[in-house]
């Protein structure tokens, strides 16, 4: 299975949700993503007055100002991924901006290309802060785990970009 396109499409969806840390695993014909999204705005409905209020959280005993994130679980079927890819393609064709190697979609695309080069099967991708851990199974069935700093993936991204453009990175 090729992972570059599906991982990029999922990455685009996760970018929209502003998910910074997550764990993703393929499960059959789906990808399961568990992660944290930023907590909603501090604007809340006041329990005491029943009106929107940006005042003190004192009036809302259900609001925990210490909670910075909410945990979520997302499931992406192959059909979902196909739709995400089509949407992403239409947005990219309408935009004149070049691809940004540091965004999540390109980071995941790069990981997918890396796995394809190794003829490996993805087991799990975990992103925490500025690193990405990839667990995979080699073509011989050996489990492996590698951790990359997001910045370290830039060189691989450039090589993949040049290959797609029909160029080489040899100078």
CA gap 117, 88 in Å, rounded? 24
CA gap 41, 153 in Å, rounded? 33
Q: Residue 62, SS3?
A: coil
Question: Which DSSP state fits 53?
Answer: E
CA gap 1, 29 in Å, rounded? 11
Residue with the bigger pLDDT between 127 and 171: it is 127
Counting residues of the chain whose pLDDT is more than 70, the rounded percentage is 72
Judged on CB neighbours under 10 Å (0-12, 13-18, 19+), 88 is: middle
- pLDDT per residue over 99-155, tens digit each? 665 688 989 999 999 999 899 999 999 999 889 999 999 999 999 999 998 778 877
Mean pLDDT of 17-39: 91
- pLDDT per residue over 76-114, tens digit each? 999 999 999 988 887 766 666 666 656 889 899 999 999
E strand spans, the chain: 21-27, 30-38, 44-45, 52-53, 69-77, 121-128, 131-137, 143-149
């Amino acid at each position: 299975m090729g992972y570059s396109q599906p991982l990029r499409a999922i990455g685009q969806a996760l970018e929209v949700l502003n998910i910074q840390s997550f764990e993703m695993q393929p499960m059959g014909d789906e990808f399961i993503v568990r992660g944290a999204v930023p907590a909603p705005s501090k604007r809340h409905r006041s329990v005491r007055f029943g009106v929107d209020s940006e005042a003190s959280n004192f009036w809302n005993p259900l609001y925990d100002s210490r909670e910075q994130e909410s945990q979520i679980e997302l499931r992406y079927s192959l059909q979902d991924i196909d739709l995400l890819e089509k949407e992403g393609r239409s947005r990219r064709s309408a935009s004149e901006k070049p691809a940004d190697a540091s965004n999540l979609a390109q980071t995941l695309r790069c990981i997918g290309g890396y796995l394809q080069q190794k003829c490996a099967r993805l087991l799990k991708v975990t992103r925490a802060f500025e690193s990405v851990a990839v667990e995979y199974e080699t073509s011989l069935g050996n489990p492996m785990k590698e951790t990359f700093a997001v910045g370290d993936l830039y060189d691989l991204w450039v090589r993949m970009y040049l290959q797609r453009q029909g160029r080489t990175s040899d100078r």
